[in-house]
Structure 1
Amino acid sequence: MAMTLRLSAEEDRALALLARAQGSSKREAAVRAIVAAAARTLDDAAVVQLARESVREYTAAEERLR
């Protein structure tokens, strides 16, 4: 699916630097950045969910011990 991405001059320079560092096109650098951000977000969400479940389990165990 096609889309237009409007960047400020600073954002375009940052993307160009990223592409150059990766040895890729700006398009590929943008795609990689999007995929990496999504992966980090999903991983963070999984960690948060696990922490919430653990807190509930420890709270229940603590209440049983009282």
Structure 2
Amino acid sequence: MNLRLTDSESDALRAKAEQEGRSMQEVARTAIAQYVTERPQRLLSAIHRVRTEDAELLQRLSK
């Protein structure tokens, strides 16, 4: 797999890797793993937020 980054994305990744004393590959792989594992929880949180904030509207739409 090849990952093509824009110059600004590459610069940001390089800076983060240097800041943490890790390789760019390690930082990118960690970020991908975090995104993949946290995505379901973020989705559930978003659904809960919509249910809570728009409860009245959802109730009216269900009729």
What is the deviation of 1:48? Answer: 4.4
Percent same amino acid at aligned positions? 29
AA at the equivalent of 2:28: A
Tell me the residue number matched to 1:11: 9
Aligned residues: 53
Counterpart of 2:17, as a letter, is A
Matched, 1:26 2:21: no
After superposition, what is the alpha-carbon deviation per residue over 1:6-43, rounded to whole angstroms, capped at 9, x for unaligned?
Answer: 11111110110111122110000100111122233121
Match of 1:37 in 2: 35
Which runs of no fewer than 5 residues in structure 1 stay unpaired?
Answer: 56-66
User: Could you list the runs of 5+ residues in structure 2 that have no partner in the other structure?
Assistant: 53-63
TM-score, length-scaled by structure 2? 0.61
The RMSD of aligned alpha carbons is 2.4
SS at match of 2:4: coil
Distance in structure 2 (CA, Å) of the matches to 1:39 and 1:22: 22
TM-score by length of 1: 0.59
